[in-house]
Each structure stands twice: as structure tokens, then as C-alpha cells.
A = this chain, B = another copy of it.
Amino acid sequence: MPDRKKAKDRWRPEIDQIEKDPMFGAENWEEAESAMQKRTADLALEKGQIHRRDVRYLFAGDLLGQLIATSFGTVDLEIPLFGLYGACSTMGEALSLGAMCIDAGHADRVLAMASSHYATAEKQFRFPLSYGNQRAPSAAWTVTGCGAVALSSRRPAGTCVQIVGVTTGRMIDPGVKDSMNMGAAMAPAAWDTIQQNFLDLGVDESNYDRIVTGDLGEIGRKILLDFAKEKGHDLSGRHLDCGLEIYDRQKQDVHNGGSGCGCSAVTLCAMILPRMRDGGWKRVLFLPTGALLSGMSYNEGRSIPGIAHAVVLERCDE
């Protein structure tokens, strides 16, 4: 991610690369996001010591119309591609399908990846940056970032993190029409998925060391905690939101918090997984949240349905 909006110092060392040029050396914002995807995928393969030919499937997506950041970013990898769109929940969707695919024996290794870029997202959903529009206090700051995870059927030596469950989200439309208040649009979907997860697995919040949403921000977090409280669940001590973790909101002018596919993808790779491997957290419910709007649906006066795709992450010590 570029240096303009720095991740909090305490987990910044875990970010593999911090790029100072938001253009990533490219000629336009969309190519910049593609370059970021390419670099992230290459790095994930390098860190996992995997040759691209040994990756059976790539599950990937971004926020742009027709997923052009993904298609131009990953074409050279020549890995069979399942293009996914779940708005900012895409990393949850990619991890879910990737894990299901490996569990079924349909693949040995897959790559799950999602990205977002502040400038491409503003241009796509709101206004081009050069317009210099005002941001509402409830607006989120789309993270310029990309995260990729190599999933494998083979357990690596030492401590690792496994995906042991999946709760796929359904769309929930609370009728919010303000594209500068997406936390409110997504919070009911987040609670729906959490509730479904509790029901399906016969557990409650005590089953998890942390319940981590994608990009609800300050407003969405409050709504989520209220919804949970109404149903007798106190999530306050266990809930984290990637959008509130990734930036230092005291020093950085990001209003409601970070957002975008890249927000949860980067937080997963650079904060959640390291914290689990270090022995801090044993079991985490990770649920990226998505707001299903487009510039066109917004201009046509439609509401913004939300969706949240959860995976259960568990540390495996033996």
C-alpha cells in the first residue's frame, strides 16, 4: 500500500511490501491496481515456495466493473481463474471456495486474492479524485492494498492456520441508500452471517478469540454490537473490524475507517494470521463484509444490500 495512509505501526512490520508510489509505476489507476495484484500473487507464491504451475485454481476479485484489475493483473500467471465479485467481502468468498475445493480433493493448492485501490474505487463508485469532492464523516477510506493466501491440502511443518468452517453470506438489504455510509448498509448482513454461524455450529461468541469483520468502521461496528446485544450476545470484547485496525484513526483522516476488498485481505495477511501463528489467538471468525452497489445502481436510486462471507480460522499446533 502507498505511504499516504500508513497502517498502524504496531503491525506494519508484518506487511510484506509498502509501495510509496500509488501509481505502482503504471500509466493509470486501473493498471496500478493490476500491477499490485501481480506483485502480490508473485510474492505469495515465492513465500510459499510454490511454482505457479502447481497452483490448480486462482480465486480472485476486486471492486472494479468486470474485474479488470484482476484480469489484467493475473493474466500472465496462466492459472485457471474463478473470477469472484462479493464487493468488499471478496476475500471471504475466495477463501471459502478455495477451502471447499481443497477439502473436496479437487485441488492440492489454490491461491485466494483480493485487492482494492483508493483512486480506482473513488472513480468507480463516487467521483474521480481530480474532482476534489468532500467526504462525508460517515464515509470510509478505500484501502489501496492487496492480500493473497496460498491454501494447501498439505500441512506445512510447525504451526499453521487452517480453515475449518465456512458460513456463506446471503444478501441483506436494510434499505440504506447512502454510498458514503456503507458501514450501516453492511452491519445487518454481518450480524446475519455471525448468527447463522453460531446456529450452524451450535456455538456462541465464546467459541472465538476474535470475531473480525471486514470494513464496518465505527458506525457499522456500533450497529453490529447493538444487533448482537438485542439477541443476548455481547461481542464487544471479541469484535475487531479490519477497517478500524488498518489505519490509525487518531492521526489519519479516514473518517469511518478503512474499506475495500484490500482492507480485509491485507489485515488478514498482516495482522490476523501473524497474531494466530504467534500463539495469541487460537480460533478466529473472519468475515469480510461487502456493500453491493455500483455507480449506476446509486445513480438510479437503489438501496445498498450487504453481504458477509465468514471463514473459521483455527491454529493447528501439532
Q: Which chain A residues have a beta carbon within 8 Å of chain B's beta carbons?
A: 28, 30-31, 57, 61, 63-68, 71-72, 74-75, 78-87, 93, 96-97, 100-101, 103-106, 124, 168-171, 173, 292-297, 300, 302, 305, 307
Asked whether A79 and B170 contact (CB < 8 A) given A103-B104, A106-B100, the answer is yes
Q: Which residues of B contact A68 (CB under 8 A)?
A: 292-294, 296-297, 302
Separation in Å of the A135 CB from the closest CB of chain B?
20
Total identical chains: 2
A188 to B74, CA, bound (A): 17
**Is the Cβ of B168 less than 8 Å from the Cβ of A66?**
no
Name the CB-closest residue of B to A94.
Answer: B82
Between A and B, 18 residue pairs with Cβ closer than 8 Å are: A31-B300, A64-B294, A67-B85, A68-B292, A68-B297, A71-B171, A71-B292, A71-B305, A78-B170, A81-B169, A81-B170, A81-B171, A81-B307, A84-B84, A85-B85, A100-B100, A100-B106, A104-B104
A307 to B300, CA, bound (A): 31
**Is the Cβ of B84 less than 8 Å from the Cβ of A82?**
yes
Q: Which residues of B contact A63 (CB under 8 A)?
A: 66
A82 to B169, CA, bound (A): 8
Q: Which 10 A-B pairs have the closest CB atoms?
A: A65-B65, A104-B104, A66-B294, A80-B168, A71-B292, A83-B85, A75-B171, A68-B297, A65-B294, A80-B170
